Amino acid sequence: MLRELTRVPGELAAALLQWGASWWRVFHFGALALVMAFSPRTYDKENRAVTAKQIYFTGWQVLPWFTLLSALLSMVLIRIVVVTAQAYGLSQYALEMVVRVLVLELIPLAAALFVALRSGAAINTEVALMHMRGDFDAMRLSGADPLRRELVPRVIGSAVSVVALASVSATVALLLAYLGVYGLSPWGLAGYTRTFGHVFDLEVTLGLALKMLLFGLAVAVIPITASLEMPREVRLAPVAVLRGMVRLFLALVLLEGASLAVKYI
Amino acid sequence: MLPDPQPAPLIPHVEFKAALLLALTLALVCGFLAYVMYARGVFASTQRLVLVADDSEGAKVGMDLTFSGFPIGRVLRIELAEDGKARIVIDVPREDARWLRTSTVFTMERGLVGDTHLRAFSGVLDDPPLPDGAIRPLLRGDASAEIPRLVATTRALLENLERMSGPGSSLDASLANVQTVTGRMKGRYGALAGVLGSEDNARKVITALDRTNTLLASVGEVSNKVDRLLAKTDERVFGAAGVMDETQKTIAQLNAVLRDARDSLKKADAVLAEAQAIGANTRAATADLAALRAEVEASLRKVARLVDEINRKWPFARDTQLKLP
């Protein structure tokens, strides 16, 4: 009985320690990937090809579909906001609300979730299998750095994809917002520019840039770290994927919540 | 049994596509940043305007200053001055600053719903433009501050209304009086009885009216007579050989008399001219008289000397008295 009682806090402490160590590995790998992404030496010929392939698979392939989907969703949301605002006689706030809700919050989050669902899960599985098959050890033996050759290109691909998807969709949403509020008339441009300037002050613009960067990093870094810290047993591959994806969603939601809290509280 | 993994199919121009996506993203991000900077007025040259208010509640950084509903400036910062007043520093683009004149009035209004509004009103657009860094007072209008006063006034109004309409109030008594009067109006003499108080009075008034009618008839006759009199007078005064004709003739005669008088006066004028000539001659004669007198005096002196001579030479008489003939 006593042993049971002493064991529980011990296990709790161990779990907490493991949790902390795991997140520490996430931050460490993220920082490492960021530094390597900005170092010109990373982009030798072979690496460039791998990175280009990652960008192609993660960003290029889904760009039209994602843009179409987000345009549709944006149009519906813009219409709802504009009609509701008009009904309450608050149409002067419709544009600001549309820009804030869509461009600042929904579209970056949607882009991150889309890349996470499509590529994050794939990266998680792929890296877990490579790790379990011992591909990385083989690479190290042959003199290649698996971090540089396989992992960093995936991080760069995810980050670029999140930013690309979000910026293209945001541009489309901004155009749709103009059309939704002012119609085809060019005379709303001055008011539109003014509202735009109102929304995007320095803090909001920097916050948006930071959020996009963190989203892009999280989408690849968290699944990769989750795959690498698993024991090398193939039966544990689903656990690695599950753990990586849960952690990724948690991170995305926390980042979005923190961004909202900083802006509005 | 899973099939053996096939080598990934070769993707054409993968590096070019990735570079294209990167370039597109970069272009969008750069365009976005440039547009944000343009929208926030980074490229526009601005001038500073400071509004001083007792209370900056409701004002916030980034809000617009509007003129005729158009935003022409933006609040840059709000600070507390040494004298305890709020200073609202506003950036106004130079091209919009022409709407601000030295006589411009600035107001801050708070509605019940929605934002606070900063407004500028320029009544005289010919006044000199507002200089850079001008400090102006800010007038405040606060709808929510008016509510307690409004409620108090409404309550007083309702109390008055209640007092006026309650039983025994003056309004109630007035209505009772109106009822009495309308009751009287229903009688034989109608509204007249209502106004005068009783049917007796009404009857008297009607009698008086009848008499007045008779009186008016006789007045009519009198006026007819006066008319006839006037016609006769007209004939006598203005008719042929009337008073006016005679008067006209008299005036003609008077004209002739006056003409004669004028001729006589002309003659008198000539006589006077001649008299003037005579006067001039007399003046000349007076000048000759002075010379004559001098000659007479000289002759007299000579005679005196002659008498003195004779007296000396005359031996018989020592009478010194000289007797002139």
Crossing angle for the helix pair A107-115 and A152-182, to the nearest 10 degrees: 150
Inter-chain touch A196–B39, beta carbons under 8 Å: yes
Inter-chain touch B24–A168, beta carbons under 8 Å: yes
Question: Which residues of chain B have a CB within 8 Å of the CB of A216?
Answer: none
Q: How many CA atoms lie within 13 A of B264 on its CB side?
A: 6
Average pLDDT over residues A179-191: 90
Report percent pLDDT > 90 for chain A: 56
Strands B134-142 and B105-110, by their bridges, are: parallel
Closest by Cβ to A160, choosing from B22, B33, B35: B22
Question: Which residues of chain A have a CB within 8 Å of the CB of B14?
Answer: 49, 52-53, 56
A35 touches chain B (CB under 8 A): no
Average pLDDT over residues B124-152: 82
* Whether pLDDT at B180 is above 50: yes
Minimum Cα–Cα distance from B32: chain A residue: A171
Residue B321's pLDDT is 67
Tell me the pLDDT of chain B averaged across its residues. 85
Crossing angle for the helix pair A2-37 and A152-182, to the nearest 10 degrees: 80
Instruction: Determine the Cα–Cα distance for residues B17 and B24; give it in Å rounded to an integer.
Output: 10
Exposed (0-12), middle (13-18) or buried (19+): which is B86, by Cβ within 10 Å? middle
Give chain B's length: 325
CB B108 within 8 A of CB B116: yes
Give the gap in angstroms from C-alpha B67 to the nearest C-alpha of chain A. Answer: 14
Q: Two tokens at B66?
A: 């509007």
Give the gap in angstroms from C-alpha B94 to the nearest C-alpha of chain A. Answer: 16
CB B64 within 8 A of CB A194: yes
A196 touches chain B (CB under 8 A): yes
Give the gap in angstroms from C-alpha B96 to the nearest C-alpha of chain A. Answer: 13
pLDDT range class, residue B183, cuts 50, 70, 90? confident
Residue B195's pLDDT is 74
Picking from B18-27, B86-95, B134-143, B186-195, which range would have the lowest pLDDT averaged per residue? B186-195
Instruction: Determine the Cα–Cα distance for residues A30 and A220; give it in Å rounded to an integer.
Output: 9
- pLDDT tens digits for range B255-308: 999 999 999 999 999 999 999 999 888 888 888 888 888 999 999 999 999 888
- pLDDT tens digits for range A191-234: 899 889 888 988 899 999 999 999 999 999 999 999 988 888 88
State pTM to two decimals: 0.64
Inter-chain touch B25–A168, beta carbons under 8 Å: yes
* Whether pLDDT at B6 is above 70: no
Minimum Cα–Cα distance from A60: chain B residue: B21
Crossing angle for the helix pair A237-264 and A121-133, to the nearest 10 degrees: 140
Give the gap in angstroms from C-alpha A8 to the nearest C-alpha of chain B. Answer: 44
A236 touches chain B (CB under 8 A): no
Residue with tokens 């006839």, as numbered in its chain:
B228
Q: How many CA atoms lie within 13 A of B176 on its CB side?
A: 8
Question: Which residues of chain A have a CB within 8 Å of the CB of B39?
Answer: 193-194, 196-197, 200
A61 touches chain B (CB under 8 A): no
Inter-chain touch A59–B35, beta carbons under 8 Å: no
Cα-based torsion angle of the residue sequence B195, B196, B202, B204 in order, rounded to the nearest 10 degrees = -140
Instruction: Determine the Cα–Cα distance for residues B60 and B65; give it in Å rounded to an integer.
Output: 11
Instruction: Determine the Cα–Cα distance for residues A168 and A171; give it in Å rounded to an integer.
Output: 5
Question: Which residues of chain A have a CB within 8 Å of the CB of B32?
Answer: 167, 170-171
Query: Which of B36, B95, B112, B118 is the best substitution to test chain A (most A C-beta atoms within 10 A)?
Result: B36
Average pLDDT over residues B191-208: 80
- pLDDT tens digits for range B44-95: 888 999 999 888 888 888 888 999 888 888 898 999 988 988 999 999 988 8
Inter-chain touch B29–A163, beta carbons under 8 Å: yes
Residue B3's pLDDT is 54
More confident residue, A70 or B123: A70
Q: What interface predicted TM-score (ipTM) does this complex get?
A: 0.88
- In chain A, where are the structural domains located? 26-264
Residue A29's pLDDT is 92
Residue B224's pLDDT is 93
CB A197 within 8 A of CB A136: no
Highest mean pLDDT among B14-23, B233-242, B311-320: B14-23
Inter-chain touch B21–A60, beta carbons under 8 Å: yes
Question: Which residues of chain B have a CB within 8 Å of the CB of A196?
Answer: 35-36, 39
Inter-chain touch A55–B21, beta carbons under 8 Å: yes
Inter-chain touch A49–B15, beta carbons under 8 Å: yes
Question: Which residues of chain B have a CB within 8 Å of the CB of A207?
Answer: none
